[in-house]
Structure 1
Amino acid sequence: MTRPSTEPLPAPRRSWRRLVQSFAGALLASSALVAHASDWPERPIRLIVPFPTGGATDVISRLIAESAAKELNTNIVVDNRTGAGGTIGSGEVARSKPDGYTLLFTTSSTHAIAPHLYKSLPYDAEKDFTPIAHLGDAASVLLVNPSVPAQTLPELIDYARAHPDELNYASSGNGTIVHLGTEAFLNQANIVMSHVPYRGTGQGINDMLGGSIHVLLDAIPTGMPYVKSGQLRALAVTGPQRSPLAPDLPTFQESGLPGYESVTWFGLYAPAGLPDDIRDKAYQAFAHAIQDPNVRSRLQTLGVDQPRSTSREDFIALVREDSARWQSLIKLTGIQIQ
């Protein structure tokens, strides 16, 4: 009786041919990716801004993108994809191909606040994006109606404690940084005010001028004209230092609230998986854009300060720190958006 052989059968030549072809294909794909990355950009770049046209983020993004496009020798087309507090546009970028032709210009709202406010998001703020650069910061100013008998922040706090059911404050909507920044102030000062949410601070300003709103955190460039005209009173700014647009106004920290800060940061992202050399090219172009004297001057008039650092590592650390701070406040106050 003949026993079956235990020697392995030789692999068919067709299998070897397929293996060689697969290996060659992988090499070609790899070399094509490298060539693609080194030649980027070869066509216009789409910069998604997840907030409305004409708003502060839109205006700032277009200003910076125009300068960055010159350095990259291509067009950067701003595409406003709005809705759900910026999370719809951010989700679209997260699902995009990581080839450098879809970028995201966004704020702390989508990456430091939204992950703790919404029960579900169309993206993971850390895993689904490649952070590129921190491009600016914008503080706010605390405005009060002249009917409020307070000339300073400590006087406002004392008045609110003595009249716990009297004052209300406006915001640009539930879960916005205006809402959270005010709640952080109330929590640290241990005072109570009623929240009146609007679809934007412009509506809140109108009611404030009419006397039905008492307190509002607003962008410095839009709020200060009402102060200069005598229609509203400004008490303090929310940044870590005084604003060049209102140098006589103290910060919250100078006014007796140590550690208080509420600043909107602006940053550039790409989908996760972006090749490093494309990331570095994009970083260089946008970081150089905010150093351009004309761009810097115009950003200052918009209330946007230069970041202390634009490096990717510092940007990642900033977002994580900011995220942890807002997460703590949201848990403390129980604020949530469905």
Structure 2
Amino acid sequence: MVATRRSLIRTALAAPLAVPGLAAAQGTWPDRPLRLVVPFPPGGASDLLGRLMAEQLTTRLGQPVVVENRGGAGGKVAAEYVAKQPGDGYTLMLGTQPTQIFNKYLYANPGYDPDRDFTPLTTVAAVAYVLVVTPRLPVRDVNELIAYARANPGKINYGSSGTGGGMHLATHLFAERAGGDMVHVPYRGAAPAVTALVQGEVQLMVDLVPNSLALVRDGQLRALAVGLPEPTPLLPGVPTFRSFGITDFDVPSWFIMVAAGKIPAPIADRLREACVASVNDPAFAARLEAVSARPMPISGPELGSFLADQSTRWEQIIRSANVHLD
């Protein structure tokens, strides 16, 4: 029997509507591979963390999670790209402090809004900072360094991986607390900055532990303090900033899983559950030790509070450093 126009309309009206997130609620999401964008080139700590998370999520979601490296502009290139992707849960990003916090204060127009364009899932890991100096500098601890800096204003240069990055802002924060007039010398990445410190081109740096650990152990750099509540066995004998009366310097570099767009609640819940389970996996924690990192699982309402606190704190530091990028 040939269907009439009226019967076709009745059939269409009776069919279920395509409601965003319905497929996820029915258990059919994901039905194809996912992408995990890492905002730095292959080979670094961010890349390793991204690949560890991709392995975990592939197992937990039942679909391949493919890592896609998009480096450039301290993560800005990747963040702008991810912000333009559909909010369907298939595009994820390993966010960093620059992508989620710094860039919105460093740039007049960063090209994306981290609060509007992403769905935060959970923090993943934290990597501690350590204050390192060239052994040529005649100081043995933080108190001696502060005294030397105050007695020699403008004569201490500190290096960083680039203007507006975590190393720059963390060292600026220390310089403020020390009360010394120090000169910032930016480099194109952490590796050349550390090399410059070893060679004595600059005298100090607040660096990520993985970047300097081997050089400290070899005696090519001297570690004076670590930015953790308690000393770390990775750097035996190195005290905390707190032990020198600098009580607000527990400022680790952290990483966070976000999804492109404001994704439907059922998909967000499934992704969040998989991400949190991954971060809490003992095998994941053991592999983080390879980059001197530690698991940092913060999700739900606590994650919103954490990001708000971080935003307030780093905005103050960036304003104090008077850093603006084009």
TM-score by length of 1: 0.89
C-alpha deviation, 1:187, in angstroms: 1.1
Q: Deviations for 1:16-49, whole angstroms, at most 9, x for unmatched residues?
A: 9999899667x4122x740245311111100111
Change in Cα spacing, 1:17 to 1:215, as seen in structure 2 (3 Å) is farther
| Corresponding residue SS for 1:217 | strand
Change in Cα spacing, 1:19 to 1:299, as seen in structure 2 (3 Å) is same
Deviates more, 1:168-177 or 1:116-125: 116-125
Q: Which residue of 2 aligns with 1:313?
A: 301
Q: Which residue of 2 aligns with 1:332?
A: 320
Identity of aligned residues (%): 37
**2:281 matches 1:292:** yes
Stretches of structure 1 lacking an aligned partner (at least 5 in a row): 1-13
C-alpha deviation, 1:115, in angstroms: 0.6
Q: Deviations for 1:65-121, whole angstroms, at most 9, x for unmatched residues?
A: 212211111111011122222112112211211111111111111111111001101
Give, as a single letter, the amino acid of the residue that structure 2 aligns with 1:248.
G
Give, as a single letter, the amino acid of the residue that structure 2 aligns with 1:326.
W
C-alpha deviation, 1:242, in angstroms: 2.5
**2:92 matches 1:103:** yes
Pick the structure with greater CA Rg: 1
C-alpha deviation, 1:269, in angstroms: 0.6
Change in Cα spacing, 1:96 to 1:158, as seen in structure 2 (3 Å) is same
Change in Cα spacing, 1:228 to 1:22, as seen in structure 2 (3 Å) is same
Change in Cα spacing, 1:283 to 1:247, as seen in structure 2 (3 Å) is farther
Distance (Å, rounded) in 2 between the aligned partners of 1:218 and 1:117: 20
Distance (Å, rounded) in 2 between the aligned partners of 1:303 and 1:320: 26
Which 4+ residue blocks in structure 1 deviate beyond 4 angstroms? 16-25
Q: Deviations for 1:205-248, whole angstroms, at most 9, x for unmatched residues?
A: 22222222110122212312111211111001123333342243
Change in Cα spacing, 1:102 to 1:257, as seen in structure 2 (3 Å) is same
Distance (Å, rounded) in 1 between the aligned partners of 2:75 and 2:14: 43
What pairs up with 1:175-190 in 2 under 5 angstroms?
175-190=164-179
CA contact (8 A) 1:135 1:267 kept: yes
**2:217 matches 1:221:** no
CA contact (8 A) 1:83 1:89 kept: yes
1:153 to 122, 139, 142: 142
CA contact (8 A) 2:88 2:261 kept: no
| Corresponding residue SS for 1:212 | coil
What pairs up with 1:1-338 in 2 under 5 angstroms?
27-30=16-19, 33-37=21-25, 38-307=27-296, 309-338=297-326
Q: How many residues align?
A: 321
Distance (Å, rounded) in 1 between the aligned partners of 2:10 and 2:182: 72
Stretches of structure 2 lacking an aligned partner (at least 5 in a row): none
Over aligned residue pairs, what C-alpha RMSD do you find?
2.2
C-alpha deviation, 1:271, in angstroms: 2.2
